[in-house]
């Protein structure tokens, strides 16, 4: 099956309006995810046409976003035969955050904070480009290897710089559990709307429950607009203190009281992860303005009548009708401009009617009141002086200790950023001696210790590889090719990056083949000598030396390409032809991100010349899956022809299959 120029590999998932496929771009051989939309059932299908316009707008919106934490859009097109529109997006292997939480996968508070911080940086980048996501939720956050987050599905994003309003009143744009109050009330939205939704995601990831739950749409919407959420520490006291403050600010009902930029939220989350308290920034009026769409047309998302809102509307209408019946009070009359509530006026009139304030006050009563006031003032002043006198002095030792911790932590972070793991580990050890109860320091020591052990293990393997290679070279130089080939193979397995070990392994095997051929020729020469050196007569079945050589060649060679798209990050594949190793490569490659090294799966694509009529033996070893697969094929190719052997591993069943032409 093809869509446009793309070759569909398999189906990844289905939605209400289309299907998502895994496909291959034949121009550059890249795997992509094709997000499709079914064509309208008839030309007047307004709803389908509107959805298709929003589908195209997704590509327009996401296509201008190039960020490591945003799924990249490569192409947009329409299949001529089926009329199906599609978007070619980056194919990301991983699970979304919703599935991770549903599976009960353990995530530390630091890992959750880093995931949310990455998403905050991504949506801040989108806001700077004039795009509001409008549907930030766990299902749209994909976690790939190393808990790196990528946000996807900008299908309901609005470009602030223009574009038609394709949304009608009462239509949802977003998921109710993750909508901001202004979305529910149909007010204009901006980047702060995404920050509120991200705050809900942060709360849910920390507590594994939603801050505004409910059994109906009306209940959920009412709680988002009117009610407060349960504090984090009441659910789990072990959640870091700073996350409580960050969540409360992100989930403020008033957008002006939230973070004005998503990057501010990311910075404070990482500060808490480092063991610092989140900084209190200035009032929102003085902060950087976020991407706001207040000059654009309003985009109502949902109209829900609330009883309290209806009562407030009736009261406002009543006040307006009363104000229309009365003239505006004169500006010079302060009391008329600031009129007390009617209830207060009635009480004051009743008091005045009883004549209390019309009676003259005696001098004794006046002086008693003044004396009581003076005594109260003196008592309050004395209490304040005593409190100031008994104030605790500043603990200079504790202050010096805090400053020392801050300096060591700053130096450790600098060494860690520069890649000096040993130096950073030493600094965190110093910090642990000063603050042994810090969970952040303990976690960093554990992570850095694991990195150091991994580096020691890598060094040991490299040392062993060099020793095996040196021993193999000694045997190779002495003509012991079979023994040297075994040592070269061990050296290559210990260090797959060693080109020398791979090259001399091939040379040793070639020398073995030459020596075996020379022995065959010597045997034929001896046979000819024993028979008097006479050549066989015409029609004789006895072979000459040239006949043996031609038979060894088996009628020429053919080209064979072996491909294997490895889904695992360990193991190796080895292919032999006629007892000779064609290639032996690992199914993984080592990569590095910052100071961390990790293994990543790689695609195998090897092309070699093989004898046209020979046997082919394939070995695939995957220790983590306990796979030891071996197949032997009889090749019967035409000399000079080209062939392909495609090998696949089904991760659902751990079964290996192959296909050849």
Residues acting as catalytic residues: 135
Cα–Cα distance list, 114 to 121, 337, 598 (Å):
11, 55, 18
- What residues form DSSP beta bridges with 660? 645
Give the SS3 label for residue 166. coil
Q: Report how far residue 265's alpha carbon sits from residue 202's, in angstroms, rounded to the nearest whole number.
A: 11
Q: How many Å separate Cα 75 from the centre of its chain? A: 22
The candidate with the shortest Cα–Cα distance to 289, out of 221, 219, 192, 366, is: 192
For residues 302 and 14, give the distance between their C-alpha atoms in angstroms, rounded to a whole number: 26
CB atoms within 10 A of CB 426: 15
- CA pair distance 661, 658, nearest whole angstrom: 10
At residue 85, the 3 state secondary structure works out as strand
Distance of CA 490 to the CA centre of its chain: 38
Cβ(303)–Cβ(170) under 8 Å? yes
Is there a contact between 188 and 218 (Cβ–Cβ < 8 Å)? no
Task: Give the Cβ contact number of residue 351 at 10 Å.
Answer: 11
Helix, strand, or coil (residue 634): strand
Instruction: Using DSSP, state whether 59 is helix, strand or coil.
Output: helix
For residue 580, what is the enclosing H or E element?
strand 580-586
SS3 for 411-465 is HHHHHHHCCCHHHHHHHHHHHHHHCCCCHHHHHHHHHHHHHHHHHHHHHHHHHHH
């Amino acid at each position: 099956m093809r869509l446009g120029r793309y070759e569909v590999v398999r189906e990844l998932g289905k939605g209400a309006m289309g299907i998502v496929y895994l496909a291959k771009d034949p121009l550059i051989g890249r795997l992509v995810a094709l997000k499709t939309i079914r064509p309208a059932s008839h030309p007047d299908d307004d709803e389908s046409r509107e959805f298709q316009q929003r589908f195209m707008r997704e590509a327009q919106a996401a296509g201008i976003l190039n960020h490591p934490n945003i799924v990249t859009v490569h192409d947009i097109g329409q299949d001529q035969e089926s009329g199906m529109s599609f978007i070619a997006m980056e194919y990301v292997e991983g699970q979304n955050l919703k599935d991770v939480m549903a599976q009960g996968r353990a995530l530390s508070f630091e890992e959750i904070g880093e995931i949310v911080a990455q998403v905050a940086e991504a949506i801040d980048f989108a806001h700077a480009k004039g795009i509001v996501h409008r549907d930030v939720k766990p299902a749209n956050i994909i976690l790939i290897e190393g808990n790196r987050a990528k946000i996807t599905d900008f299908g309901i994003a609005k470009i602030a710089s223009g574009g038609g309003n394709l949304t009608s009143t009462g239509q949802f744009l977003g998921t109710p559990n993750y909508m901001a109050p202004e979305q529910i009330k149909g007010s204009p939205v901006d980047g702060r709307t995404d920050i509120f939704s991200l705050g809900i995601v942060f709360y849910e990831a920390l507590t594994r429950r939603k801050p505004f739950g409910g059994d109906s749409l009306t209940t959920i919407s009412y709680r988002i607009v009117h009610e407060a959420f349960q504090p984090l520490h009441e659910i789990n006291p072990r959640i870091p203190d700073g996350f409580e403050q960050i969540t409360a600010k992100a989930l403020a009902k008033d957008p002006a009281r939230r973070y004005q930029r998503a990057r501010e939220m990311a910075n404070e989350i990482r500060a808490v992860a480092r063991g610092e308290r989140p900084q209190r920034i200035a009032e929102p009026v003085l902060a950087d303005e976020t991407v706001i769409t207040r000059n654009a047309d309003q985009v109502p998302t949902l109209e829900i009548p609330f009883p309290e809102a209806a009562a407030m509307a009736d009261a406002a209408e009543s006040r307006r009708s009363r104000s229309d019946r009365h003239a505006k009070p004169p500006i010079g009359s302060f009391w008329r401009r600031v009129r007390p509530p009617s209830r207060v006026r009635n009480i004051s009139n009743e008091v005045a009617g009883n004549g209390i304030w019309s009676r003259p006050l005696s001098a004794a009563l006046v002086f008693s009141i003044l004396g009581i006031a003076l005594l109260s003032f003196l008592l309050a002043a004395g209490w304040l002086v005593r409190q100031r006198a008994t104030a605790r002095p500043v603990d200079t030792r504790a202050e010096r200790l805090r400053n020392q911790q801050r300096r060591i932590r700053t130096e450790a972070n600098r060494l860690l950023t520069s890649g000096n793991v040993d130096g950073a580990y030493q600094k965190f050890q110093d910090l642990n001696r000063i603050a042994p109860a810090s969970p952040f320091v303990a976690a960093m020591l554990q992570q850095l210790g694991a990195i150091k052990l991994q580096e020691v293990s890598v060094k040991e393997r490299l040392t062993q590889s060099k020793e095996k290679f040196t021993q193999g070279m000694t045997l190779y130089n002495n003509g012991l090719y079979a023994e040297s080939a075994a040592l070269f193979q061990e050296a290559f397995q210990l260090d797959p990056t060693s080109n020398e070990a791979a090259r001399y392994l091939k040379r040793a095997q070639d020398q073995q083949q030459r020596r075996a051929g020379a022995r065959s020729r010597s045997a034929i020469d001896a046979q000819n000598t024993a028979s008097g050196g006479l050549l066989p007569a015409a029609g004789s079945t006895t072979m000459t030396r040239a006949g043996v050589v031609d038979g060894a060649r088996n009628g020429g060679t053919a080209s064979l390409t072996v491909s294997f798209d490895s889904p695992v990050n360990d193991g190796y594949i080895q292919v032999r032809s006629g007892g000779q190793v064609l290639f032996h490569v690992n199914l993984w490659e080592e990569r590095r991100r910052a100071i961390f090294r990790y293994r990543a799966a790689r695609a195998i694509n090897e092309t070699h010349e093989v004898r046209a009529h020979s046997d082919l033996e394939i070995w695939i070893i995957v220790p983590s899956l306990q796979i030891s697969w071996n197949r032997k094929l009889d090749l019967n190719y035409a000399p000079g022809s080209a062939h392909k052997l495609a090998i696949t591993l089904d991760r659902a069943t751990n079964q290996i299959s192959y296909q050849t032409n």
